[in-house]
Amino acid sequence: MGHENEHSEVHEHHNDHYFEVSREDLFKPYKPSAIEKYVLPFLGKIFDVPVTLFKEQIVDRIPRKKFYYYHQRYPRVPEIDSCMVDDRVCIAEANDQFTRDRYVDANIVRILRQRVDACRKWYDRDYEDMERFCAPYYKDHEEAATNFYIKYGELFYWSDVRDAFMKQKHRMLFERDVGPIGAKKKSDEGGDKEADNAISFLRRFHGHVNLPKELRF
């Protein structure tokens, strides 16, 4: 009996504080209190009006050139191929510029890869739509990734601009003698000139074991 009386008292106490919200109460216009209507705007003007007057009357009247800031821009310096061998300042500036360009190009490839991933997730349920709408993103990413590998591929993270310059020089010499890397050569009508090439000889008898990566195609 005691437990039932206690339960009924709690239920009656709960009913005393219970009220039903009508539709009119939910949709009636909001009436702000006196604090929200007078006190808070007054406190806001105390802090805002002096700052606004100082900016409009003093700062904006100072004649100066407008500057639109997006990101820090560094002036371009001569490349490593324009530096003398003993010019340490020119080499250091070219190396800093190479490092910044490497970070920028890496972020460009990363952003393009994120666009490809987002497009693939959006059209995940329909492969035909993925091939149709994501083709431009695939093309841009493949082109950027290929150019990034041509310039920075097979370089360590501690490699500097001189290593990249030597890499480009070796690639140019190889393409001058053999042709573009990855391109298939067509045999001439007079005979197969590639058979007399030393690289073809090594590729035929030694396989890809002792050949550098540029020759493994």
Amino acid at 66: K
Of 183, 188, 210, 187, which Cα lies nearest the Cα of 199?
Answer: 210
Give the pLDDT band of residue 123 (cuts 50, 70, 90): confident
Give the pLDDT band of residue 217 (cuts 50, 70, 90): very low
- Contact predicate 78/92, CB 8 Å: no
Which segment of 42-46, 94-98, 138-142, 186-190 scores lowest on mean pLDDT?
186-190
Give the pLDDT band of residue 28 (cuts 50, 70, 90): confident
Residue 124 has a pLDDT of: 81
Give the pLDDT band of residue 61 (cuts 50, 70, 90): confident
- Contact predicate 163/155, CB 8 Å: yes
Residue 37 has a pLDDT of: 87
- Contact predicate 63/74, CB 8 Å: no
User: Mean pLDDT for the chain?
Assistant: 78
- Dihedral Cα 78, 82, 88, 89, nearest 10 deg: -20
- Unique residue bearing structure tokens 């959006």: 122
Determine the straight-line distance between the first and last CA of the chain, rounded to whole angstroms: 93
Task: Decide: pTM greater than 0.95.
Answer: no
CA angle centred on 89, ends 86 and 93, rounded to 5°: 125
User: Per-residue DSSP letters for 115-137?
Assistant: HHHHHHHHTTT-HHHHHHHSHHH
The 10s digit of each residue's pLDDT in 93-116 is 999 999 999 999 999 999 999 999
